[in-house]
Amino acid sequence: MTGRLQTRVTRTVAAALAACSFAAPAAGQDPPSPAAGPPPIELTLNRMVDFALESSFRIQQVNLSIERTRLRLRAQRARLKSRVDLELRAPTLREQSEPRFDPQIGATRTFRENSQRYQGELSIRQPVVLFGYPTNGTISLNNRVHRFEEEDATGDIRTEYFNEYFVRYTQPLFQPNELKNDIEGAELDLEDSELDFYADVVDLIDEASSAYFDLFRTAYQQQIRSTHVARLEQALRVAQERAAADSSAALEVDQVNVELANAREQLQQSLNRFRLETAVLRTEFNLPQDADVTLQPVIELDPVPIDVERATEFALELTPRLRRLDIQLRESEIGVENTKGRGGIQVDFSVSYGTEKRDAVFGGLWQDTDNSFSLDLEANIPIWDWGERSARIQASEVGVRQTRLRIDQARLDIRTDIENEVRNVDEFQSRALTMQETLTLASSISQQSLERYEAGELSVLDLLQSVRREFDTANTSLETYLGWRRALLRLQELTFYDFERGMPLLDRYGIDFEATEPQ
pLDDT of residue 263: 92
pLDDT of residue 13: 35
Chain segment 306-336, per-residue pLDDT in tens: 999 999 999 999 999 999 999 999 999 999 9
Strands (E) across 334-417 are located at 346-359, 370-380
The whole-angstrom separation of Cα 255 and Cα 168 is 103
Q: Which residue has the higher pLDDT, 23 or 386?
A: 386
Check whether 358 has a pLDDT greater than 70: yes
Question: Is residue 337 exposed (0-12), middle (13-18) or buried (19+ Cβ within 10 Å)?
Answer: middle
Chain segment 164-184, per-residue pLDDT in tens: 999 999 999 988 998 899 999
pLDDT of residue 404: 96
222, β-bridge pairs: none
Check whether 192 has a pLDDT greater than 50: yes
The whole-angstrom separation of Cα 337 and Cα 332 is 9
For residues 66, 70, 72, 76, the Cα torsion angle rounded to the nearest 10 degrees is 150
Are the C-beta atoms of 407 and 329 separated by less than 8 Å?
yes
**Helix H or strand E encompassing 212:** helix 178-245
The whole-angstrom separation of Cα 513 and Cα 7 is 39
Helix axes 3-19, 460-495, angle to 10 degrees: 120
Q: Which residue has the higher pLDDT, 133 or 448?
A: 448
pLDDT of residue 153: 64
pLDDT of residue 512: 64
Average pLDDT over residues 149-153: 76
- For the ranges 106-115, 149-158, 397-406, 506-515, the lowest mean pLDDT is seen at 506-515
The whole-angstrom separation of Cα 155 and Cα 157 is 6
The whole-angstrom separation of Cα 199 and Cα 207 is 12
Strands (E) across 274-345 are located at 293-295
| 171 Cβ neighbours under 8 A, 6+ residues apart | 128, 135, 136, 137, 138, 348, 349, 350
Q: Which residue has the higher pLDDT, 291 or 377?
A: 377
The whole-angstrom separation of Cα 512 and Cα 519 is 18
CB atoms under 10 Å from CB of 369, counted, come to 17
Indicate the average pLDDT of the chain.
Answer: 85
Nearest to 224 by CA among 445, 453, 24: 24
pLDDT of residue 367: 85
The whole-angstrom separation of Cα 395 and Cα 397 is 5
| 58 Cβ neighbours under 8 A, 6+ residues apart | 200, 204
pLDDT of residue 202: 92
Check whether 21 has a pLDDT greater than 70: no
pLDDT bin (cut points 50, 70, 90) of residue 27 is low
The length of the chain in residues reads 519
The whole-angstrom separation of Cα 515 and Cα 173 is 34
pLDDT of residue 15: 39
Check whether 443 has a pLDDT greater than 80: yes
The whole-angstrom separation of Cα 280 and Cα 284 is 6
* Three-state secondary structure call for residue 396: helix
| 202 Cβ neighbours under 8 A, 6+ residues apart | 492, 493, 496, 505, 506
The whole-angstrom separation of Cα 415 and Cα 174 is 43
CB atoms under 10 Å from CB of 23, counted, come to 21
pLDDT of residue 8: 35
| 178 Cβ neighbours under 8 A, 6+ residues apart | 136
Are the C-beta atoms of 120 and 88 separated by less than 8 Å?
yes
Percent of the chain with pLDDT over 90: 52
Check whether 100 has a pLDDT greater than 90: no
Nearest to 489 by CA among 248, 206, 271, 215: 206
498, β-bridge pairs: 503
Q: Kind of pairing, strands 41-43 and 293-295?
A: parallel
